[in-house]
Amino acid sequence: MSAGNIAERLYYDSPELGFTATVTDIRLDSHEKNEAGEKQQLWQVALDRTAFYPEGGGQPWDTGVLVAVSRSGATLEVPVERVEEDDAGEVWHFVRKPLVEGTEITGRVDAARRIDHAQQHSGQHLLSAVFLSELDAKTVSFHLGTETSSIDLVLREGAERLSEEELQRVEAAANRLIFEDRVLTPRWVPQHVAVAMYEHGDLRKLPEREGPMRIVEMQGVEFNACGGTHVASTGAIGGLMLRRVEKVRQGWRVEFVCGLRAVRAARRDFELLTGVAGSLSVGTGDVPGRVTALLEDAKAATKERRGLIEELACAEAVALVTGAIEGAVIRAVFVGKDMEFAKQVAARATGFGRTAVAGAINGSEGAIALARPAGSMVDCGKILREVLGAAGARGGGSAERAQGVCRAEQVEELVGKLVEAL
């Protein structure tokens, strides 16, 4: 074990992603299993110096490769899948091939992933600073996701929500500072200096650990005690776009994207919108108006359809009553109609003082409605429950109106049985 031999963190002072180092320790991490449940050997390697950022401060770890050359000249390239710092401060690189202690390696950090993380992370510093200066809203947590990132804000006292105007103002102010290309400067200060800065209000938070502290200054914007990786100046954040805002338990969650992520998000939105516009055969700017008009049309059509069904049900009931023997129970089965139609026909028949059983068959589904006129002593709910229940179907209702569902092929038979039971 290489206690007291903690790796030099190259990422603190340099954006350089390639480096040379020596393996100082290796240990087997065997608890990884693949999708088939087979144990896969995963090794953890420690180096005397590293440019790989371990997970921390809401920022995910770097990935990349460690390259070793054997005595025979063969090159061994080992992907780094994950990087973690342990409680003792040692940085462990997770690999699937062992590298023995003393091996000299060349490390290469995946540039696209690092740059993306530095953009989102630096963008978070900037966004939190702007929310504080513009709206007196304090950031209480930060999450860097694979697609979007978010900060959780506690609003100033008395503020109940974030308005659209406020969000646009913050977004514009953040992008203005990106345009101004403010320099980010990390420097190490003794703990007492950091404490003095905190007490003076220059630092919002102090790390809990002891010893020298790394303070990152964003020129003219803020100081931040942070061990993460940053861009050299705000211009490299590239741009910042606010996305969804939602209420969460501890305050308000604001999603945002920076740099190429903002471009990708805008590209996705544009493709979605042009797809919808294409389906509607209108220009993208006309989509909202067209959708509103379609919704209104659909609403009017539903209302009209409901009226037509009522009229049709009424006509069916009149025809049934007219054609039936005086005093007999009205019965009918309608194909291609639903429960609502059966209920309407049965209910209309009661308007002529008749008890009625109406069935409906729609594909494989069957529905049955039973209704009796006011003054009748028949308990529709009870009879329907008994008859349908005996056939393994379900239903229920009041003494005056009852309905149930069954299989399509049961409808005719159950209607007959109900008529017999009445």
Question: x/- binding map, residues 385-414, to Zn ion, per CB under 5 A?
Answer: ------------------------------
Indicate the residue among 149 and 403 with the shorter CB distance to Zn ion.
149
- Contact in structure between 384 and 368 (CB atoms under 8 Å): yes
Strands 18-29 and 104-109: antiparallel
Indicate the residue among 259 and 404 with the shorter CB distance to Zn ion.
259
Residue 232 tokens read as 């050299």
Which residue's CB atom is positioned nearest to Zn ion?
A: 226
Residue among 60, 228, 359, 404 that touches Zn ion (CB under 5 A): 228
Q: How many residues bind Zn ion (CB under 5 A)?
A: 2
Stretch that binds Zn ion, among 68-76, 177-185, 193-201, 224-232 (CB under 5 A): 224-232
Report the candidate in 75, 79, 113 with the shortest Cα–Cα distance to residue 96. Answer: 79
Residue among 126, 170, 203, 226 that touches Zn ion (CB under 5 A): 226
Indicate the residue among 126 and 346 with the shorter CB distance to Zn ion.
126
Indicate the residue among 51 and 358 with the shorter CB distance to Zn ion.
51
Measured from the CB of residue 240, what is the shortest distance to Zn ion in angstroms?
Answer: 15
Q: CB burial class (10 A; 0-12, 13-18, 19+) of residue 267? A: exposed
Indicate the residue among 155 and 206 with the shorter CB distance to Zn ion.
206
Estimate the crossing angle of helix 111-135 against helix 164-179, to 10 degrees. 120
Strands 49-50 and 8-9: parallel
Measured from the CB of residue 121, what is the shortest distance to Zn ion in angstroms?
Answer: 5
- Spatial distance between the Cα atoms of 156 and 133, rounded to a whole number of angstroms: 11
Measured from the CB of residue 200, what is the shortest distance to Zn ion in angstroms?
Answer: 20
Indicate the residue among 94 and 142 with the shorter CB distance to Zn ion.
142
Stretch that binds Zn ion, among 132-140, 226-234, 263-271, 343-351 (CB under 5 A): 226-234
Hey, how many other C-beta atoms are within 10 angstroms of the C-beta on 355? 22
Indicate the residue among 126 and 360 with the shorter CB distance to Zn ion.
126
- Spatial distance between the Cα atoms of 190 and 359, rounded to a whole number of angstroms: 85
- Spatial distance between the Cα atoms of 347 and 171, rounded to a whole number of angstroms: 60
- Spatial distance between the Cα atoms of 185 and 232, rounded to a whole number of angstroms: 7
Measured from the CB of residue 225, what is the shortest distance to Zn ion in angstroms?
Answer: 9
Measured from the CB of residue 227, what is the shortest distance to Zn ion in angstroms?
Answer: 7
- Spatial distance between the Cα atoms of 367 and 384, rounded to a whole number of angstroms: 12
Q: Is 371 in the site for Zn ion (CB under 5 A)?
A: no
Report the candidate in 422, 421, 356, 361 with the shortest Cα–Cα distance to residue 390. Answer: 421
Stretch that binds Zn ion, among 164-172, 191-199, 227-235, 320-328 (CB under 5 A): 227-235
**Interacting residues toward Zn ion by CB under 5 A:** 226, 228
